[in-house]
Amino acid sequence: MPGELLDAKELIDRREYRVAVRRLEQARSKAFAEENTDQLRQLLDLAENIYEQAQGKPREAAGRLVYSVQQNIRLLSRRTALAAGEAWADPFEPEKGHWAEATAPSPDSALSFPLGKPSFLGLIASVLLSLAVLPVCFGVLILFYALAHGKSGSDRTVYELLGIAVVASAAALIYCVMSWVKARRVEKD
């Protein structure tokens, strides 16, 4: 086991997970640059060990490290299979670790469109929904103003409240359109 991994193992034994993850990340970069799959597998075992023992941010960092190491091993195994003219088999497909659910991005994570699949009707519905924010927001602002001041406001106050409602509606509209565009791009890929 190389020196960086021994240092990381000692840090894990002392429960200094944050520093251990940093050392393992440095070792990962070096092992990947050297295309050393065996060292990456040893590193993967240590990162999984941290993931199982740690809590909070060190656990999250270890999960991301595990995912990165897996991706590095996958890439190197693809390169090896391609060079040998063989079919590639995912080395991690048969058994997914319990940490995979927490660290690997799900296929649906990029699809954050408010009204389901990014169809044109969905876009129209979300635009109408965001425009409906305008009168609702304006009405709530007028109500709160009247309750706070006990009278209806001047024309200037009404225009200010209307401006706030328009900004809220515009923000909702921009969010919906941008989400639709992003979801369409992901759907095409």
Stated pTM of the model: 0.50
**128 within some domain:** yes
Q: How many domains does the chain have?
A: 2
pLDDT value, residue 49: 92
* DSSP assigned state of 105: P
64 and 7 part of one domain: yes
pLDDT for 120 beyond 60? yes
**29 within some domain:** yes
**Percent of the chain beyond pLDDT 90?**
33
At residue 28 the predicted structure's pLDDT band, cuts being 50, 70 and 90, is: very high
pLDDT for 21 beyond 70? yes
Question: In whole angstroms, what is the distance from residue 37 CA to residue 140 CA?
Answer: 61
Q: What is the mean pLDDT of residues 85-108?
A: 63
pLDDT for 96 beyond 70? no
Question: In whole angstroms, what is the distance from residue 169 CA to residue 157 CA?
Answer: 18
**Domain that residue 25 falls in:** 3-103
Q: What is the mean pLDDT of residues 178-184?
A: 75
63 and 136 part of one domain: no
**63 within some domain:** yes
- Token duo for residue 166: 């328009």
66 and 124 part of one domain: no
